[in-house]
Structure 1
Amino acid sequence: MSINFAGQFDVIVVGGGLSGMHAAIEATRNGTNVAIISKKKTGKSGASVVSKSIHRFSPEDPDLRRNYFNRALEAGRYMNDKALLKVLVDNGSDAVKKLLSYIPNLYLNNKSDDGLLYSNIAYHNPKKGVFITSRIREYIEDHTCISIFDGFTGVEIMTKNNSVSGLIVEKDNELQYFLAKSIILATGGYAYIYKETSTTNDETGDGIAMALRKGLSAIDMEFVQFYPYRVVSPAIHDIFPNLFSEGAIFVNEKNERFMESFPKKELENRDTLSREIFNQKEVFLKLENCSTSYLLKESPELLAIQKKYPNKPLKVVPKAHFSMGGICIKPDCSTDLDGLFACGEVTGGLHGANRLAGYALTETAVFGPIAGKNAALHAKDKNHEAINAEITFLPRIGQDNVIAIKKQLRDTMWKKTGIAKSKEELLDAQETISKLKSQLDKCQPSKLKDWIETYNMLIVAHVMIKSSLLRQESRGAHFR
């Protein structure tokens, strides 16, 4: 398959979500020409668009910052990379203040979603992440010269003399390549390898798979957070955790408040709450003690569901939500491959075994600019290298549909490697993934993008299962 030249840039950012856009803005501010490569529309893709827009950050008071640091360590079951966590805690406040300068309707609130001391959060009104991502896309278009390539899937990082030299991409079953002095991976996580997920269908682990193919290390791949705050019937809707500070409760099929004995009740860490929900036969959300005026203000969609289906209970089931594992990075967002940087959910180590609520978007606002700045500084000292764009693992285009393989992969991961894992089921999943890989290798797909995504998902699923087998203890989001 021929690979045509598409252009050259100092810095290429792979991913059009919040992390990628923050990185691109900072890279161009540092005097480099920058391109964003995004599978879908930049600013309308990635997990950030379906978030609740919450940015948790630590206050400037040193004692409170230590409290925040320790709280994140506790949530991560003390497996966090402390150097990365310090960067997040020390820089979160300034990062959020920068957002306030160009995102309208972003508000600060002194009431946290856990009802405790950790009360510094910023959020958009209405609480939908797509308003933030769309506004940053508008900022890029109005105030920068960043080139945006939507509908392009990153396929392979090109290297020369052990340094990044470019990127091979796919669009409409054709391959192209860009030259680059620095590349930033901001492709998000891998929660979409599960059948039931709260994230978007572009979270297929592409960046992690690309990095692994270059011999880089991943960390904490066994830790996938399941979001316990999702109503699945009679309609699907995410629950804003502040509801539980205003009277909402969870009950089981016996109408028992099964979280009553826990110190923070329904506001326990997500790993604990998801496991307790899993242990019940059925779980329902009850809103009788929440005022109608509060629901109208904070969660009108949930109130509308209740009014539309007055005789149906609000059933709750946890969904795969956030992957704590990913590419190993240093505090400057560099990797062990010269010229390759990474930021956001594609990376691992920051959150340890479980992410604290509200830190995902703050992570994008902190580490995105760090990656952008350092990628730009690296690019200034480099020249473009002449290369031969080659790739060996892709199939020929044909008539095969690989969606069935992707579906079986996601079904297997949900049934065998979900909230609770056992050695037997993990081994079963491992065998199935191996068989699916063999099937995929024989395919000649009609849509190359689907094949690439499925290939990446199989790589990530294999590593996730292997990591889960190695960790025989239960810790955080990994429950054996």
Structure 2
Amino acid sequence: MTTTTEHDTTDVLVVGSGIAGCAAALAAASEGSEVLLVTKATRPDGASTDWAQGGISTTRDDPESLEEDILEASDGTADPEAVETLVEHADDAVEDVLVETLEIPFDETDGGEFDYTREAAHSKRRILHVDAATGTHILRPFLHYVDDHERIEVRQDTAALELLTDEGRVRGILTDEETTGKPIYAGATVLATGGIGALYERSTNPDDATGDGIAMAALAGADVTDLEYVQFHPTAYAGDDPFLLSEALRGEGAVLRNANGDRFMDDYHPDADLAPRDIVARAVDAEREETGEVVLDVSPLEGEFEDEFPGIAEKCRDRGIDGDAIPVAPCEHFLCGGVDVDDRGRASLEGLYAVGECARTGVHGANRLASTSLLEGLVWGLRAGEDAASDHEPTVVEAPDLRNSDPDLPDRFAAEKFTRLRQTMDEYLGLERTPDEIARASAVLRRLKGEVDAYVRTRTARDLYELRNATVAALLIARAASENEESVGCHYVEETQPTGETADD
């Protein structure tokens, strides 16, 4: 990497430090490129990967079965070619990077074999895991490995503010390293910025998941797709400070019960508690509304809860949950759409790639199958990094100076605007929507974006740009929702449901 007092240059620039970003950086460096990885996170748990619980799917020597499960969970909307790409490269990516290079200590049986688990909508046990904190056990060694790589520089606490473009090609980014923006020029730029959880009050994402990559790409003119498909996980702790209760719990025998103590998922889907996420989430929401509460009953687990899932059990005990019934409610979890990319992670703008949750590869369609997010980030990160390494040399172009002339805003300004944004998303673009609610959301979000833009024009501050990105991403979600009148997967438009339809029709 070349550094001057005015700008930096690098062969490949990666924005984001989750599994997808780390994989892209590693692959590009392995091809001989100099790589700069920038991330606004300062700790591993600032990346969504660190929050991933369940595990990472493999084919377990049955690729056709995994393909079928992914397509079925998506309600037939996933791109078969993208699914084939994922499945074809899954086992090699896991073996080469996670098992051999990083030596991730995946759980094993007493016989020394991998202890594969099963999660909802999977037809067999095929998921590698470490307790129910797999993301943490993957990301932290990955970050250490990347940080020690001679061809990779990792720069933390650095936010991307804008994509730099010239003649239809992305040339790099402006960062917040200087008060009016510092350019980093690159031969190829890989966005790996995660999801949009910060747009909702309750989310399993880190607080800084503000849709940055999606917003920056869209503002630069890149295509974005499938943004109406916001997935809500059915089993997050229902109290304050929600945390995820992995689907591996239900895969190992835990069951959902309503306030009357009744199991209810048999009434909603033939696979009962192991039905696809969108169906389980809506069922949990309906039962909570009808009976007042839904709990995840962990008493049917074969082993003791504390022994089988010590990390989750500790979180429960920290919140005063001493028994086997854990109150749960749906919670924003994953964005199935994003920057539209091909099988190498290439976006519609030359020089731009997107991987991980900010990308729309086509694998997930309208609803993601459990434990495919880490896999998709790994596979597409490796493929994008390898391809980006063969891209053009970095070219220095004129970069705009962002204005930073007006006084700082009050400390609570961005927080108060975020509160309004989240209230809008929760009320109008949540687990279920109506056409009228989508239209109301669009109107509120347009006004909010206008207010935020007025301040961004004269102030360069990370929280303002995160707020701008969040409003742009929210508007894109509302627009996509308004353009899709069909209820499918995560996009459930109530008024389009025929009377008498059931979840398994």
Alignment counterpart, residue 81 of structure 2, candidates 80, 83, 88: 83
State the secondary structure of the residue aligned to 1:16: coil
Alignment counterpart, residue 414 of structure 2, candidates 384, 395, 402: 402
Closer, same or farther in 2 for the Cα pair 1:187/1:438, shift >3 Å? Answer: same
Contact 1:14 1:36 in 2 (8 A): yes
Q: Which residue of 1 aligns with 2:500?
A: none
Q: Which residue of 2 aligns with 1:38?
A: 39
Unaligned residue ranges in structure 2 (runs of 5+): 108-113, 494-505
Contact 1:234 1:313 in 2 (8 A): no
Is 1:438 paired with 2:436? no
Question: Is the deviation greater in 293-302 or in 416-425?
Answer: 293-302
State the secondary structure of the residue aligned to 1:83: helix
CA separation in 1, counterparts of 2:86 and 2:327?
35
Contact 1:43 1:133 in 2 (8 A): yes
Alignment counterpart, residue 362 of structure 1, candidates 347, 350, 375: 375
CA separation in 1, counterparts of 2:264 and 2:409?
52
Contact 2:116 2:126 in 1 (8 A): yes
Amino acid at match of 1:131: H
State the secondary structure of the residue aligned to 2:265: coil
Q: Which residue of 1 aligns with 2:334?
A: 322
Alignment counterpart, residue 109 of structure 1, candidates 115, 133, 136: 115
Is 1:277 paired with 2:289? no
Closer, same or farther in 2 for the Cα pair 1:459/1:331, shift >3 Å? Answer: same
Alignment counterpart, residue 297 of structure 2, candidates 266, 273, 286: 286
Residue 263 of structure 1, CA deviation = 1.9
Residue 75 of structure 1, CA deviation = 0.9
State the secondary structure of the residue aligned to 2:204: coil
Q: Deviations over 1:351-381 (max 9, x none)?
A: 1000000100011111111010000011xxx
Q: Which residue of 2 aligns with 1:231?
A: 237
Matches within 5 A, 1:207-356: 207-233=213-239, 236-261=242-267, 262-280=269-287, 281=289, 282-291=293-302, 293-299=304-310, 301-302=312-313, 305=316, 308-310=320-322, 314-348=326-360, 349-356=362-369
Is 1:385 paired with 2:383? no
Amino acid at match of 1:354: N
Aligned residues with identical type, % of pairs: 25
Contact 1:105 1:125 in 2 (8 A): no
Contact 1:167 1:177 in 2 (8 A): yes
Contact 1:15 1:188 in 2 (8 A): yes
Question: Is the deviation greater in 347-356 or in 134-143?
Answer: 134-143
Unaligned residue ranges in structure 1 (runs of 5+): none
Q: Deviations over 1:269-326 (max 9, x none)?
A: 1000001111122211223333553542224542773694447952111100000010
Q: Deviations over 1:321-351 (max 9, x none)?
A: 0000101111111122111111111111221
Amino acid at match of 1:193: L
CA separation in 1, counterparts of 2:121 and 2:432?
28
Question: Is the deviation greater in 409-418 or in 435-444?
Answer: 435-444
Closer, same or farther in 2 for the Cα pair 1:45/1:9, shift >3 Å? Answer: same
Q: Normalising by the residue count of structure 2, what TM-score does the alignment of the two structures yield?
A: 0.87
Amino acid at match of 1:164: V
Q: Which residue of 1 aligns with 2:124?
A: 118
Alignment counterpart, residue 165 of structure 1, candidates 167, 171, 190: 171
Q: Which residue of 1 aligns with 2:182?
A: 176
Contact 1:55 1:361 in 2 (8 A): yes
Contact 1:53 1:132 in 2 (8 A): no
Alignment counterpart, residue 146 of structure 2, candidates 128, 134, 140: 140
CA separation in 2, counterparts of 1:218 and 1:232?
32
Contact 1:115 1:242 in 2 (8 A): no
Amino acid at match of 1:268: A
Closer, same or farther in 2 for the Cα pair 1:300/1:110, shift >3 Å? Answer: closer
Closer, same or farther in 2 for the Cα pair 1:15/1:332, shift >3 Å? Answer: same
Q: Normalising by the residue count of structure 1, what TM-score does the alignment of the two structures yield?
A: 0.92
CA separation in 2, counterparts of 1:82 and 1:238?
29
Closer, same or farther in 2 for the Cα pair 1:94/1:424, shift >3 Å? Answer: same
Contact 2:180 2:401 in 1 (8 A): no
CA separation in 2, counterparts of 1:324 and 1:143?
32
Q: Deviations over 1:213-235 (max 9, x none)?
A: 12111110100100112122387
Residue 203 of structure 1, CA deviation = 1.4
Amino acid at match of 1:456: N
Q: Matched residue pairs, number?
A: 472
Is 1:189 paired with 2:200? no
Residue 163 of structure 1, CA deviation = 2.2
Q: Which residue of 2 aligns with 1:468?
A: 481
Question: Is the deviation greater in 432-441 or in 238-247?
Answer: 238-247
Contact 1:53 1:361 in 2 (8 A): no
